[in-house]
Amino acid sequence: MNLLIIYTHPNHQSLSYSFLEKVLKGAEENSNINRVQVLDLYEEQFDPILRFNEKKRRRDMHRDPNLEAYRHQLLWADKIMFIYPIWWGRPPAMLLGFIDQMFASNFAYKDIGKILPEGLLKGKSVVCISSMKGPKHYPLLLLNNAHKALMKKALFSFVGIKRVKFFEFGNMEAPNKGHSKKLELIYQYVKRLAV
């Protein structure tokens, strides 16, 4: 299995980075995982701003040479793991900008004249590991689970990815709130991960 980790947090001293370290440790000890690539969007200085004009059209985004390396990574991966914080009930703008540009028509999906398009990323699976300052159940109670609906239904299902798992951790800025147990949970999950 080829594992692509898309890490989106500007601070390498964060709990998100600690989750990344546990994922890498678990992947190293998992014989089902052949290769791992990490795409750190902040370190990469990915430009999340979507730009269109007369010369750069949205319908041609699947051929943008500036995004070719990222397209290869997404096609290479059997499993895509996203690690990011939840800010204001949604992933960081950096990750949303990556999604806007990478999950483009004629790369991630194809219009076929029906109600829903054909997803072109079938067969892949996704794991989302997110953390937030607020309580774990905040997105469910006050936001009607908008984050999960955005990621699973509006994005992954649309592009043909049916197997999606979420790990959402709340109260992450509170001291001594079981962070080590949460980190161990992720490590053990990745260590035992099958295709």
CATH code of residue 8: 3.40.50.360
Which among 70, 2, 82 is positioned nearest to 36, based on CA atoms?
Answer: 2
Q: Which residues pair with 85 in a beta bridge?
A: 131
Q: What backbone phi and psi angles, to 5 degrees, belong to 185?
A: -60, -45
Q: Which domain holds residue 104?
A: 2-191
Statement: residue 195 has pLDDT above 70: no
d(CA 1, CA 108): 20
For residue 18, the model assigns a pLDDT of: 95
Q: With cut-offs at 50, 70 and 90, classify the pLDDT of residue 24.
A: very high
Q: With cut-offs at 50, 70 and 90, classify the pLDDT of residue 171.
A: confident
Q: Residue 90 carries which DSSP code?
A: B
Structure tokens at 62: 């699947």
Task: Return the residue matching tokens 């898309």.
Answer: 6
Element (H, E) at 49: none
Encode pLDDT of 133-154 as tens digits: 866 555 445 555 777 888 988 8
For residue 178, the model assigns a pLDDT of: 76
d(CA 82, CA 20): 9
- Our count of domains for the chain comes to 1
d(CA 74, CA 29): 23
Any long-range contacts for 63-70 (C-beta under 8 Å, 24+ apart)? Answer: 64/101, 67/101, 67/102, 70/39, 70/98, 70/102
Structure tokens at 141: 């109670």
Q: With cut-offs at 50, 70 and 90, classify the pLDDT of residue 46.
A: very high
Q: What is the pTM of this model?
A: 0.91
First to last CA, the chain: 6
Q: With cut-offs at 50, 70 and 90, classify the pLDDT of residue 75.
A: very high
Alpha-carbon dihedral sign for residues 1, 72, 47, 45: positive
